[in-house]
Every structure is written in structure tokens, then in C-alpha cells.
Amino acid sequence: MVTGARPAPSPTPSPTEPGAGETALERELRRLAGAVPDPELPVVSLAELGVLRDVRVEYAGDGHRAVRVELTPTYTGCPAIETMATDIEQVLHTHGERDVSVVTVLSPPWSTDDISAEGRRKLDESGIAPPRPRGADGTVALSLAIRCPHCGSTATELLSRFSSTACKALRRCTACGEPFDHFKEL
């Protein structure tokens, strides 16, 4: 996605859980990439959003070092993914990594459950109601009310299932009257 950034010669899928068997360099690069803010919701980082899947460093026979980053989109059509990839490349280039490639992976599909507790807190703080946890079968318990991020009331109503971005729904608080975005469960 950036000139000069070529995929690693023979990329192999990481056989283990992300983070397993990670080197100190990989950990550092993962921290840097994960700290990149989401382009649409800059209050949360990519790590908090749960879209950074893996960071691997691969060495070719001649000692050439390539960094391979795996990102997963929130929605398949999310246009922010290209900006995320460019931002990550830039950060890692600045850190001295010359060969960085960012690839998109779809499996397993991203879920709003991948947003960290800290990410949820920051969303709420910035006026976006965080998603509710999904059950093992993917359903959301109806009894879990969506709380107004402005006044805290649970008396809120749906205005539209679709809002300013694909990942949000538009709601209104019937207590304070303010409309707000809700990060809808996926």
C-alpha cells in the first residue's frame, strides 16, 4: 500500500496464537502499531479496537528483515482499513523498519467483543455508547439496556440502525433528549 513496501518473500500463516513466541522486537513493533489511533474514532487505538491481529518479523537468507502486520476490518466495506494500513506503515517506517507490509485477514471475523475494556471506556467517554457483549451464540441479551453516554439514563430509543459509519447505530436519549451514536454489536 506504500511504494517500496513489498510483502515478505514467502509469508507463512502464523501457526500459533498472536503474541505466542513473540520476540522482543516483535513486541515493540506490535506496541507501536497497536498505538496507532483509529482514523474514524481517534479516541481508541487499533489495539483497543481489536483489529490488530499479528506483527511478525521475518528474515530472508541475506539477513533482509521484513515486517508483516495482520489487520482485520470491522466491516468488510470499512474504508478506514486503508488509512489504518498506511498509518501503521508510516509509524513502523519512522521506527526504522524499511520493509513493512500490512495484509488484511478476515478469519476469524472481528466482533465487537474484541474491543478491550479500556476501548469501551474511551468510547463511552467520547459520547459513543459501547457495544453490549454478545452471548456464545452471537445474540445480545435484550435485558441489557443501552445507556446514554451523556446523562447515563437507560431510557434510550433507536432512531436508525445505521449511522455515521457502518459500525454504529443512531439512538436518542429520552431522558436528556440528546442523540448519540451506539457502537452496534457485531
Residues binding other proteins: what is the number (CB under 8 A)? 25
Helix (H, G, I), strand (E, B) or coil at 55: strand
**Residue 106 C-beta: closest distance to other proteins, Å:** 4
110 touches other proteins (CB under 8 A): yes
184 touches other proteins (CB under 8 A): yes
- Draw the binding track, 18-57, toward other proteins (x: CB under 8 A; -: no contact): ----------------------------------------
Q: Which stretch binds other proteins (CB under 8 A): 44-52, 53-61, 71-79, 142-150?
A: 71-79
Interacting positions 159-178 with other proteins (CB under 8 A): 159-166, 170
132 touches other proteins (CB under 8 A): no
